[in-house]
């Protein structure tokens, strides 16, 4: 029952801050209003338990959908071989190499745990990739990062 109430509360606060953002005469970014609403609720003594499973269920899929929606489908279809090879190849390569490095630096961590840690640390999100690159490479990198995040989940 508590996860359901948490989800409903988060959706309600998100909807209310979105409505307030449209009604305000000033152009205040929505994330700032949401942070302010969360801060005011916290100061008022409102405690919202948020488990990691609920976080993954409520916040990560909509962000992945938004990133995937912004990728040009025609370009992604034409470049699907490159995108998939980079997405899967880079995940495996970075997980194995990073895991081996972590295992060598900290011998107390078993190799399997080091590879799991490296695979969790290696993927990048599409927003950071898009801010660093421009042009035709952006589609490849954004699609690759979306696939890697989906693979991680």
Question: How many structural domains compose the chain?
Answer: 2
> Are 113 and 139 part of one and the same domain?
yes
Separation between Cα atoms, residue 147 and residue 83, nearest integer Å = 8
Q: Identify whether 11 is part of a domain.
A: yes
Minimum mean pLDDT range among 64-68, 95-99, 143-147 = 143-147
Which residue is listed with tokens 């948020």? 50
Domain identity same for 78 and 126? yes
Averaged over 74-85, what is the pLDDT? Answer: 80
Asked if 150 contacts 67 with a C-beta cutoff of 8 angstroms, the reply is: no
Q: Domain of 94?
A: 68-152
SS3 140: helix
d(CA 88, CA 84): 6
**Domain for residue 99, yes or no?**
yes
Claim to verify: residue 25 and residue 74 sit in the same structural domain: no
pLDDT (tens digit per residue) in 28-46 = 888 888 888 888 888 888 8
Give the model confidence (pLDDT) of 90-99 as tens digits. 778 888 999 9
Task: In whole angstroms, give the CA distance from residue 42 to residue 107.
Answer: 42
Residue 57 lies in a domain: no
Tell me the whole-structure pTM to 2 decimals. 0.49
Query: Tens digit of pLDDT for each residue in 3-30?
Result: 788 778 888 888 888 888 888 888 888 8
Give the Å distances, CA to CA, from 129 to 68, 84, 109, 143. 13, 17, 30, 10
For residue 48, give Cα distances in angstroms to 6, 32, 33, 39, 144: 7, 19, 18, 12, 34
Q: Is residue 56 in a domain? A: no
Q: What is the pLDDT at residue 125?
A: 53
Domain contains 62: no
- Asked if residue 152 has pLDDT above 80, the reply is no
Looking at the structure, do residues 31 and 90 belong to the same domain, yes or no? Answer: no
Residue 136 has a pLDDT of 58
């Amino acid at each position: 029952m508590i996860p359901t109430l948490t989800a409903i509360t988060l959706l309600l606060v998100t909807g209310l801050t979105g409505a307030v953002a449209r009604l305000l005469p000033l152009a205040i970014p929505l994330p700032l209003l949401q942070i302010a609403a969360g801060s005011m609720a916290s100061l008022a003594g409102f405690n919202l338990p948020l488990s990691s499973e609920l976080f993954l269920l409520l916040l990560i899929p909509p962000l992945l959908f938004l990133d995937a929606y912004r990728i040009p489908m025609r370009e992604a279809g034409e470049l699907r071989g490159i995108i998939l090879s980079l997405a899967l190849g880079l995940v495996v390569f970075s997980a194995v190499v990073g895991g081996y490095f972590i295992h060598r630096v900290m011998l107390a961590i078993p190799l399997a745990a080091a590879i799991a840690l490296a695979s969790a640390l290696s993927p990048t999100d599409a927003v950071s990739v898009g801010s660093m690159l421009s042009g035709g490479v952006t589609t490849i990198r954004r699609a690759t990062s979306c696939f890697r995040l989906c693979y991680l989940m």
